[in-house]
């Protein structure tokens, strides 16, 4: 069994607290939908609105704290909403831009180990420039000192956004190495579940920009990495148990809109 009973309780507590907080604080945006409401009913429109709102902050309110709870038992440390660093060398900027240019024109294929090596070589050369990179969603440090920085994305990220995702991953590398040039660093995109199940995740849209082997973890690849083999299935069971336990609260909340 991948998860301890304590971890399962932690995960389920995160879920309960997050859902109850949402019930207590959520105020649907005023929007008149007379045709939809008459066709489907106020309760179903409220449910649709609630789920849409929940999806927008699922990563911050649920996936990030759950990831921390899972990783804390298997890694040296696990934190969320971290800053990779505040400076990147001018030479590292040039290397990152060349990588991006080459990938954009398909002159080279993504190769994260080589890209990290190229940035490491110049990580403290030239002028050190102050930067404000995107915050790291989840930072995990292994017992061997390896730093893993995760950017958690929605299940179906916009294909056009992968160019910026890639740049963010490279900037995290440069900012980390500017602090410690010998740091063992991995930066990755995490997608919490596969919306195409039972079919494989549709990775082709990312192939020209991301090193799929070294920069992407989807569904069980991500959760099992953090918590051990079998974690993903246990996590789904946690969500199901919490949903059953809070069923009366969920029904009561949406019953207000009948």
Cα(98)–Cα(76) distance, rounded to whole angstroms?
A: 34
- For residues 171-183, give the mean pLDDT: 97
Q: pLDDT of 83-95, one tens digit each?
A: 999 999 999 999 9
Instruction: Indicate the range of 18-32, 71-85, 130-144 predicted with least confidence.
Output: 18-32
The pLDDT, as a whole number, for residue 25 is 81
- For residues 237-241, give the mean pLDDT: 95
Q: Give 110 or 42, the one with higher predicted confidence.
A: 110
The pLDDT, as a whole number, for residue 90 is 97
> How far, rounded to the nearest angstrom, does the alpha carbon of residue 228 sit from its chain's CA centroid?
18
- pLDDT over 70, % of the chain: 96
Cα(13)–Cα(19) distance, rounded to whole angstroms?
A: 10
Q: Which residues pair with 140 in a beta bridge?
A: 78, 148
- For residues 104-132, give the mean pLDDT: 95
Cα(172)–Cα(185) distance, rounded to whole angstroms?
A: 9
Q: pLDDT of 7-51, one tens digit each?
A: 899 999 989 998 898 888 877 665 677 888 888 888 788 888 888
> How far, rounded to the nearest angstrom, does the alpha carbon of residue 150 sit from its chain's CA centroid?
6
The pLDDT, as a whole number, for residue 162 is 84
1: pLDDT strictly greater than 60: no
Q: Cβ–Cβ contacts within 10 Å for residue 192, how many?
A: 21
Cis ω on the peptide bond leading into residue 45 (within 30° of 0)? no
The pLDDT, as a whole number, for residue 224 is 96
- For 90, the token pair is 């001018």
Cα(244)–Cα(240) distance, rounded to whole angstroms?
A: 6
Q: pLDDT of 148-159, one tens digit each?
A: 999 999 877 776
- pLDDT level of residue 250 (50, 70, 90 thresholds): confident
Q: Which CATH number fits domain 75-227: 3.40.1560, 1.10.860, 2.60.40, 3.10.530?
A: 3.40.1560
Q: How far is CA 205 from CA 160, 175, 231, 247, in A?
A: 9, 27, 27, 38
Q: pLDDT of 184-225, one tens digit each?
A: 999 999 999 998 888 888 776 677 899 999 999 999 999 999
- Helices assigned H by DSSP within the chain: 5-25, 34-40, 42-56, 58, 64-71, 90-104, 112-122, 162-179, 212-215, 220-227, 231-245, 247-255
Place of tokens 């079998």: 230
Strand order in the sheet with 77-82: 77-82, 136-141, 147-152, 185-191, 216-218
Q: Cβ–Cβ contacts within 10 Å for residue 64, how many?
A: 20
Mean of per-residue pLDDT scores for the chain:
90
For the question of whether the overall pTM of this predicted structure is more than 0.85, the answer is yes
Q: Are 231 and 2 in contact (CB under 8 A)?
A: yes
The pLDDT, as a whole number, for residue 137 is 96
- pLDDT over 90, % of the chain: 64
The pLDDT, as a whole number, for residue 159 is 66
The pLDDT, as a whole number, for residue 31 is 64
- For 105, the token pair is 């024109």
List the one residue out of 49, 58, 19, 47 whose CA is nearest residue 154. Answer: 58
For the chain, domain boundaries: 1-73+241-258, 75-227
């Amino acid at each position: 069994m991948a998860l301890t009973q304590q971890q399962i309780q932690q995960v389920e507590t995160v879920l309960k607290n997050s859902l109850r907080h949402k019930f207590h604080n959520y105020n649907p945006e005023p929007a008149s939908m007379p045709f939809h409401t008459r066709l489907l009913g106020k309760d179903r429109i409220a449910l649709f609105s609630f789920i849409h709102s929940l999806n927008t902050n699922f990563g911050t309110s649920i996936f990030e704290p759950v990831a921390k709870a899972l990783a804390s038992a298997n890694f040296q440390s696990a934190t969320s909403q971290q800053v990779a660093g505040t400076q990147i060398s001018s030479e590292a900027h040039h290397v990152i831009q060349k990588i991006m240019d080459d990938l954009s024109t398909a002159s080279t294929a993504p190769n994260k180990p080589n890209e990290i090596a190229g940035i490491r070589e110049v990580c403290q050369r030239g002028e050190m420039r102050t930067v404000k990179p995107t915050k790291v969603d989840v930072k995990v440090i292994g017992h061997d000192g390896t730093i893993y920085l995760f950017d958690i994305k929605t299940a179906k990220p916009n294909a056009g956004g992968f160019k910026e995702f890639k740049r963010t991953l490279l900037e995290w590398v440069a900012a980390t190495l500017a602090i410690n040039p010998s740091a063992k660093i991995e930066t990755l995109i995490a997608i919490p579940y596969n919306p195409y199940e039972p079919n494989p995740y549709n990775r082709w849209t990312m192939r020209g920009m991301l090193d799929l082997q070294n920069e992407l973890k989807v569904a069980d690849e991500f959760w099992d990495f953090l918590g051990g083999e079998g974690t993903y299935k246990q996590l789904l069971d946690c969500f199901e148990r919490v949903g059953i336990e809070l069923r009366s609260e969920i029904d009561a909340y949406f019953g207000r809109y009948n």
